Amino acid sequence: MQKVLERDWRTTFLPQFQACVRAGSYSFMCSYNRINGVPACANKKLLTDILRGEWGFEGYVVSDEGALELIMLGHHYTRTFLETAVASMNAGCNLELSYGMRNNVFMHIPQALAMGNITLQMLRDRVRPLFYTRMRLGEFDPPAMNPYSTLDLSAVQSPEHRNLSLEAAVKSFVLLKNVRGTLPLRARDLAAGLAIARVLLGEAGANPAGRLPATWPAGMHQVPPMENYTMEGRTYRYYGQEAPLYPFGYGLSYTTFQYRDLVLSPPALPVCANLSVSVVLENTGQRDGEEVVQLYLRWEQSSVPVPRWQLVAFRRVAVLAGRETKLSFQVVAEQRAIWAQDWHLEPGTFTLFVGGQQPGQQMRVPSEVLSARFTVTGAARPLRGC
């Protein structure tokens, strides 16, 4: 098995989870995989040392469905479910999501406690965030005092929530190419577009290649090949109850944007300082629209391997046709940190990229991506020392 360097998973795989902690998430799920031979749900370094110790997470960790059983049955990391219960409890797992077996892993916790493999204090520590969550959800309150007890399908299917689901679906579409201004579809094209969507999205595999039928609905013969459109994830699972009801392109205001006047301040900053960024975004198209402005950072030299690009900021911005807006961002010192047995900040030269359709867009005219360099001065130092 190939060993994954801690530096690699610290800089590539873990930042998004740390962002979830900072955003206030109270629940994480440990997955099926293993890192350097240790299954995630039995990995104390991940679930306790980093998640709780370094990041200050106070919530609970639930296993992916069957992940605890697979510690023994799949990874052969343990020999019995009793041993698996001890390993996962010690690692920091609070709750088991089982395949449905009556004799699942956490059913062996009483035996582990009786044998002294886990302590009563550990059991209390694992249970506390579970009951705290249940209390926050009002499970121990009289139904009249619990606002969640009145929720039913009428709330889920309310116009407000259906509109929110539709908005999420529309904003999640990715338009790779808009030939001859096909999108947004006009009202008379919606029925034809829906027919196309049913052909392309049918999650039984009748049309795995996404090919279009030989006979087009009337009025749709000029639509470009559908490989120009993509949707991230599985439609029915991720796009909510509204996704199957509308063809792709519905509500999209496809337009063009141009960036200019990128300013980095200061262009040379001390090792612990933050960088201020401003840029002007102009809607050069004929329709009102939204742009997701993205900022990526690149190290020009570093003492250890680092990502080719690192996302450091993004913002969805609505701009009217023919109008412009000035945007401000801040890139904090922590986003320049590198892992070398600990998080460190180093001096050197950095390049900041600002634009849409990143990373990897070709830097050639008329590319919309702007870039500028800045330098960091001073001696290298641990991030916690700033």
Q: Which residues contact 88 (CB under 8 A, 6 or more apart)?
A: 41, 42, 63, 68, 71, 96, 105
**3-class secondary structure, 162:** helix
Query: Residue 64 and residue 62: Cα distance in Å, rounded?
Result: 7
Alpha carbon distance 291, 214 (integer Å):
35
Is position 342 annotated as part of the catalytic site?
no
d(CA 24, CA 321): 36
Catalytically annotated residue among 8, 64, 125, 288 = 64
Alpha-carbon distance of 106 to 95, in angstroms, equals: 8
What 3-state class would DSSP assign to 79? coil
For 333-348, the DSSP string reads GGGG-EESSSEEE--E
Cα diameter, the chain: 74
Provide the 10 A C-beta neighbour count for residue 124: 9
Q: What does the alpha-carbon distance between residue 249 and residue 182 come to, in Å, rounded to a whole number?
A: 9
What residues are annotated to the active site? 64
